[in-house]
Structures are given as C-alpha cells and as structure tokens.
Amino acid sequence: MVIEEPKHTPAVDTMGVSNVGKTIKQLLLKAQSESRVTVGLSACINILSKTPEDSLFCLLAEPKKGDSATHMHEVLLEAFCYENDIYVVKVDSADKLSRILGQSDIESCALIQKSWTSNNEDESFDSLENALVDHCEAFWDAPQQPIIKLPAM
C-alpha cells in the first residue's frame, strides 16, 4: 500500500490567486513610499549589475509580441535573478504595473529592494513581503512561473 502525501501549494491554497495581485499592488506602493522601487528594464539591469544582493523581487510584465530585443533582455534578466536568488514575479500587464507606480511611460519591469529597517532579516519582512515570498517559494522550481493578474486601477 502506497500512501501519498497531499500536495500543497501555499500561494494558491492560502491566499487565492486574485489576492496575490492585490498583495503585489500593496507591496509596490509601500516599497515605493520607502524609495525601494526601481522602474524600467534599463534601470533595473543597472541596479542589478552593481548590487544584486540588495534586491528581493523582480516584477516582469508579459513581453510584447514582436519586440525580440526587449524579450531577450528580459530572459537574461530573469536568469540573472534566479542565479542571485532574487524572486521573479511575472505579472499580466506592463500597463497596470506602470499605472500602479504612477509612471507616464509604460514599463515592463520593476525591482523591489530589500527593506533595511532591521539587522535581523526575518524581522525586516512585513506581512506583504512574507506573503509574496511564500508565493514565489511555492513556484520556485516550477518549469513555468504563473502570471499574476494585477488589479485594475
């Protein structure tokens, strides 16, 4: 007799997929108010090339069809993030991401820096960061990352 352990996906079971998008929005706004957000593919690549250890999340919007140069940059950025243990979160819309951050230009990438409010890493995480980390950890080894639907503004 074989006993199988139940499969558990924390982000889907405990938060619900729609709540992940709301969590991302709240975290982006909070991090932006603390000056911990970098917006734009070039700016994110520049920050990561200098201090990758300071970054916690990299948010990438679905690429536009036909823009192969940007797509290649995003693929390389995603690989770099995985190599440096930075959580990659794929979101459904560059337009929504840009509106949440109050950008006039449409940007496909945002980087959230770690919070430096405490020397103890576990204490510096707030509930929003913990929730998103749990989601990312649940899908860390998945062959394809889920695309999170951001709430409309």
- pLDDT(125) > 90: no
Q: State the Cα–Cα distance between residues 108 and 91, nearest whole angstrom.
A: 9
**Tens digit of each residue's pLDDT (9 = 90 or more) over 25-75:** 999 999 999 999 999 999 999 999 999 999 999 999 987 788 788 888 889
Q: 0.85 exceeded by the pTM?
A: no
State the pLDDT at residue 145.
83
Q: State the Cα–Cα distance between residues 21 and 16, nearest whole angstrom.
A: 9
Q: Which tokens sit at 141? A: 């080894």
Q: What domains are defined for the chain?
A: 19-142 (3.30.1330.30)
